[in-house]
């Protein structure tokens, strides 16, 4: 199983590859790489922490005045999946 630090390491590796090969890698590929790195960072820095908080409230129903239901988790993930599109990874 991979953890989030490993995904961030991969993202940093690709940023380094882009920097070391400026002008060598075709622009189409550069755009794809930058997009994938941005999507990975969005997922790790924004989306997964939001989901973790929602999951926390789902599991500890007594701590939240507005209960989080399983369908809330499913709906949140469906919206997050749209905002983080993994087209070409």
**Model confidence over 31-48: pLDDT tens digits?**
989 988 988 888 888 888
Tell me what pLDDT residue 42 has.
Answer: 85
- Judge whether residue 16 has pLDDT over 90: yes
Mean pLDDT (the chain) is 84
Distance, in Å, from the CA atom of 5 to the CA atom of 27, rounded to the nearest integer, reads 28
Q: Are the C-beta atoms of residues 84 and 39 closer than 8 Å to each other? A: yes
Q: Are the C-beta atoms of residues 80 and 47 closer than 8 Å to each other? A: yes
Q: Which residues are CB-contacts of 38 (< 8 A; sequence separation ≥ 6)?
A: none
SS3 category, 84: coil
Q: Are the C-beta atoms of residues 69 and 58 closer than 8 Å to each other? A: yes
Band of residue 89 on the pLDDT scale cut at 50, 70, 90: very low
Query: What is the torsional sign of CA 69, 71, 76, 77?
Result: positive
Q: What is the pTM of this model?
A: 0.69
């Amino acid at each position: 199983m991979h953890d989030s630090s490993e995904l961030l390491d991969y993202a940093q590796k690709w940023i380094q590859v882009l920097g070391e090969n400026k002008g060598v890698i075709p622009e189409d590929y550069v755009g794809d790489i930058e997009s994938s790195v941005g999507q990975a960072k969005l997922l790790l820095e924004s989306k997964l922490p939001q989901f973790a908080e929602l999951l926390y409230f789902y599991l500890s129903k007594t701590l939240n005045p507005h209960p989080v239901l399983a369908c809330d988790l499913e709906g949140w993930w469906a919206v997050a999946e749209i905002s983080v599109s993994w087209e070409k990874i």
